[in-house]
Chains A and B, each alone.
Chain A
Amino acid sequence: MSTQTAAAARAATEPRRTGAARPAAQQTRPAIGFLAPFIVLYLLFIIGPALYGLVMSFFDTSLVKPGLAGFAGFRNYAEALRSSDFWSSLWHTMWFTILTTPPLIILAFVFALLADRVRRGRWFFRLAFFAPFILPSAVVALIWMWMYTPLLGILHVSLDKIGITAPNWLGDPNWAMVSLAITTVWWTLGFNFVLYLAGLQEIPRDLYEAAAIDGAGPWQQIRTITIPMLGRTTTLVAVLQVIASLKVFDQMYIMTSGGPNFATRSILEYVYDESFTNYRVGYASAVSMLFFLVVLAVSFVWFSIVRRQEKEV
């Protein structure tokens, strides 16, 4: 209370600097007040644990022992960087991102374009594409595990009917990640789809009319109007998608538990295994911190590439 009154008194006695500064200063305090619920939760559940994780990463902290335990310095980091498990699981996450990001952007765009052109029953297509996104990961995993079942699953049976031998979707180390990527594309396509659909509706219709009068065909219209006008949406979709793909955990944990032979263990599952199964919270925190740096770097590079392209367009 006292600080508030003191601040108010100071604000009152302070001379006006510029006309604009005063309203801004007046608005800051209520703004902070309105933001407080968010800021408190953010500090409590994001910043706090992150700092705690950073501290733990320098200790041999155990899940089942009280306190931070012995000081490890950079030993946990050194161990992670030397560990082949760390690098292979990091690569699995990257590989998953590479497999899912392009289809999730391109297919979402194509489907949004098609759905936008539908005259009657557009709501149905919007719903159809968005519906999988609202399913919980466990439900999605279950549906696809049934479909991927060797010999009995619908994919095997249907491919068999047209004379193609289906791979062992989740059992073959070379196919397991591809199968997970297919599942993920089906599951999360709806989110990008909705973003694109919203973007499409923002484009003024008269641009198309003008182009049509000038004799531009549908393909030319897409290439020269739709794609450039959706530049900002694409940036947003691309960045959100890369980050979402890097954070993959649920599908793998449920559908393959990282197998076969660790071929689909993502970096987050490695963190989970080390911290909760092996009780090595300190080491797992170090791995999380390294992964955080990777995500930061990837997002930054990716964001700057996409932004530059957007400007060029």
Chain B
Amino acid sequence: MASISRRNLLRGSVAAAGLAGLAACSSPLVSGLTASREVAGSLDFWNLFGGGDGVRMQQMLDAYQRAHPEVAFSAVTLAWGNPYYTKVSLATLGEKPPDVAVSHLTRMKNLVNAGLLQELRPDDLARHGLTSDKFNRRAWETGLVNGKIYALPMDTHPFVMFYNTEVCKKAGLLDADGNLKPLTSPEAFTAAMQQAKQATGAFGGVVAFTSETATPWRIFQSLYAQLGGEMLADEGRQVVIDDAKAGQVLTFLQSLTRGGAFPANADYQGSIAIFANGQAGFFFQGEWEISTFQTAKLPFSMAPFPNVFGGARYACQADSHTLVLPRQASEDPARLDRSLGFVRSLLDQSKTWTEGGHVPAWLPFQQSAEYRAMTPQSNYASAADAAVYDPDGWYSGSGSNFEIISGSVVGAVLAGQLSPAAAIDQLHTQLGNLATTASPI
């Protein structure tokens, strides 16, 4: 023991190196020696929820864990957007994916096309009561890829309108029952913003567009889709912007900041502050900001994004959070059932999730009296059925290059830095570059 000769040490090292080499070649041996996840009945869950969503998701996970103490459960929260999808992709390619992950519906299709997600077979789903008739139809159907199921939608999160009830009352925008009068034309919308501006003495409405790309894209897409405009076709290989319609929307948006109805400089946090301080009567953003204003004890309500251009055809930009099962190196029926049981548990807790503003995709809850009693959450439930998702394309989806390019251009128009015509040219050029690039998927 006392003396280890050099020769023995070398022999030992060679043997260790050989063992490592052997182990690297045969992964079952590695998992037998090291990884315990295959045997322990474990469940890894990755999500991208911060803020209020993060808190509510944690409550739901705690509830699952209490009900299933036998499962070795671990949850990881990663930064939203591109970093999240990069990590999900790399973990799956490296054959160490989580069992269940959250994905935006608009990002899920690229993951499917890249071969990173498991197909969910209807019989497996049926064992857990996860049948198509129990999900919001629009979210469910948009999530199908070639008719196959890969994702189970949790919610729809539309772009909505927040309004300060006191300001709107003062501006005479509420009817006798306290409901907001409809804003169904550009003129009515602008007039309402000007009235609210007089009531606040500062601004009528506010939308974030400084150092922010997602929000300007969302307001543009909502209005543009009401006109029936499309951005991309043929899985993103063609840019099919309708210049006249896009021009109409951009001119309208620019008139709001030019006319002083909207502030001409507002970043994301700034836009929240302006609305929370009562300096604007209207605020346009995803419904998830509900908690912010509830915490601020602001007298406010929410409504679907107004149908400014649509007439009979209503549309608003939206996305859905879905639950997906990344592709595993080996199939394991027990793990599949554990994962689907977990998915079911989250869907059964849709009430907690809905408190954060999202429109539940799980119909057993969405159609309940309990949901209808939740205000202002149920005010904009109809928006989920008129949801317009980002177009298909390898560079498209929530927080993608497509949104960054389009949102920057729209933001520059709102800031008065670009004319609508120049903006449309820029969209054609920049999106055209991506469209002509060979898809890596």
Interface residues of A, Cβ cutoff 8 Å to B: 60, 62-65, 70, 79, 171, 257, 259-261, 273, 276-282
Contact = CB atoms under 8 A, between A and B. Distances in A.
A276 B92 CA distance: 12
Interface in B30-79: 79
A64 B86 contact: no
A171 B211 contact: yes
B117 to A, nearest CB: 11
Interface in B321-352: none
Given A64-B93, A64-B115, A64-B116, A278 B83 contact: no
Contact of A261 (B89, B115, B211): B211
Given A64-B441, A65-B440, A70-B438, A276 B401 contact: no
B183 to A, nearest CB: 32
B395 interface: yes
B409 to A, nearest CB: 13
Interface string B198-222: 0000000000000100000000000
5 contacts: A60-B440, A62-B441, A63-B114, A65-B441, A279-B89
B408 A261 contact: yes
Nearest to B439: A62
B85 A277 contact: yes
A79 B433 CA distance: 10
Contacts of A280: 437, 440
Given A63-B93, A64-B114, A260-B211, A279 B85 contact: no
Which of B90, B440, B441 has the most CB atoms of chain A within a 10 A radius of its CB?
B440
Which of A63, A65, A276, A278 has the most CB atoms of chain B within a 10 A radius of its CB?
A278
A60 B211 CA distance: 33
A276 B116 contact: no
B114 A279 contact: yes
Nearest to B213: A261
Given A64-B114, A64-B115, A64-B116, A276 B89 contact: yes
Nearest to B430: A84
B164 to A, nearest CB: 25
A261 B211 CA distance: 7
| Chain B interface main SS type | loop
Given A278-B395, A279-B114, A60 B438 contact: yes
Nearest to A70: B438
Contacts of A261: 211, 408
Contact of A276 (B90, B211, B441): B90
A277 B400 CA distance: 10
Nearest to A61: B440
| Chain A interface main SS type | loop
B382 interface: no
A277 B114 CA distance: 12
A62 B89 CA distance: 12
B82 interface: yes
A251 B116 CA distance: 30
Interface residues of B, number: 20
Contacts of A65: 114, 440-441
B329 to A, nearest CB: 15
Nearest to A273: B82
A260 B114 CA distance: 30
Given A64-B114, A171-B211, A261-B211, A279 B441 contact: yes
A277 B83 CA distance: 7
Contacts of A257: 79, 83
B22 to A, nearest CB: 17
Given A64-B116, A257-B83, A279 B440 contact: yes
A60 B89 CA distance: 19
Contacts of A60: 438, 440
Contacts of B116: 64
Contacts of B408: 261
Given A64-B93, A64-B116, A260-B211, A277 B86 contact: yes
Given A276-B89, A278-B395, A62 B83 contact: no
Given A278-B440, A281-B440, 5 more contacts: A62-B440, A64-B93, A79-B437, A259-B211, A278-B401
Which of B114, B115, B116, B438 has the most CB atoms of chain A within a 10 A radius of its CB?
B438
Nearest to A261: B211
Nearest to A258: B82
B82 A277 contact: yes
A39 B440 CA distance: 35
A64 B89 CA distance: 8
Contacts of B441: 62, 64-65, 279
A63 B90 CA distance: 9
A70 B439 CA distance: 12
A276 B86 contact: yes
Contacts of A276: 86, 89-90
A63 B79 CA distance: 22
Contacts of B114: 63-65, 279
A260 B394 CA distance: 24
Nearest to A60: B438
Interface string B366-410: 000000000000000000000000000011000001000000100
A197 to B, nearest CB: 36
A257 B79 CA distance: 11
A63 B89 contact: yes
Interface in B158-214: 211
Interface string B98-142: 000000000000000011100000000000000000000000000
A66 to B, nearest CB: 9
A282 B439 CA distance: 12
A63 B83 CA distance: 16
A260 B210 CA distance: 11
Nearest to A282: B440
B430 to A, nearest CB: 10
Contacts of A281: 440
A261 B267 CA distance: 13
Contact of A63 (B85, B401, B440): B440
Interface string B425-441: 00000000000011011
A99 to B, nearest CB: 22
Contacts of B90: 276
Contacts of B85: 277
Nearest to B79: A257
Contacts of B437: 79, 280
Contacts of B89: 63-64, 276, 279
Contacts of A282: 440
B432 to A, nearest CB: 13
